[in-house]
Structure 1
């Protein structure tokens, strides 16, 4: 089975939701257990990406985590949304 390119999957899922897709940036950090993908968008698009009560963000996380390999030594994927509050 071919490995999924997680960053391009995230980009293809998130881009149609945004008013300003040119502001989309995805960065990756790794630690011992997780591949962290941090999504940064224009400040006015944060609400569109999170959705009401976080439903859109939860759905994105479900799809991205489900696409990841199920190998025993595979790191888990974490999807984080930069909400510009910090």
Structure 2
């Protein structure tokens, strides 16, 4: 899942080397924390959050078939 997020986001941003995905796993949930360069935040979020929403939709769909835990994607600088 981490590789999927990195692959999608790196194709969107100007600074792909700054893309990092950290995974925090708990008993009932997995949180993927995506961090990108400050200048790339607008590209990852998109107009009215459309890109972020689409990214979350893809991640949640991929996770629902492979994992029993609830999956979350957080985007930060």
User: What TM-score does the superposition give when structure 2 sets the normalisation length?
Assistant: 0.90
Correspondence 1:33 to 2:13: no
Residue 74 of structure 1: how far off its partner (Å): 0.8
Correspondence 1:18 to 2:25: no
In structure 1, stretches of 5+ residues that fail to align are 1-5
Correspondence 1:49 to 2:44: yes
Q: Equivalent of 1:79, from 44, 53, 73?
A: 73
Inter-partner Cα distance in structure 2 for 1:70 and 1:10: 16
Q: Which structure features the higher share of helix residues?
A: 2
- SS of residue paired to 2:5: helix
Asked which structure has the greater CA Rg, the reply is 1
Inter-partner Cα distance in structure 2 for 1:58 and 1:76: 17
- SS of residue paired to 1:28: strand
User: What TM-score does the superposition give when structure 1 sets the normalisation length?
Assistant: 0.82
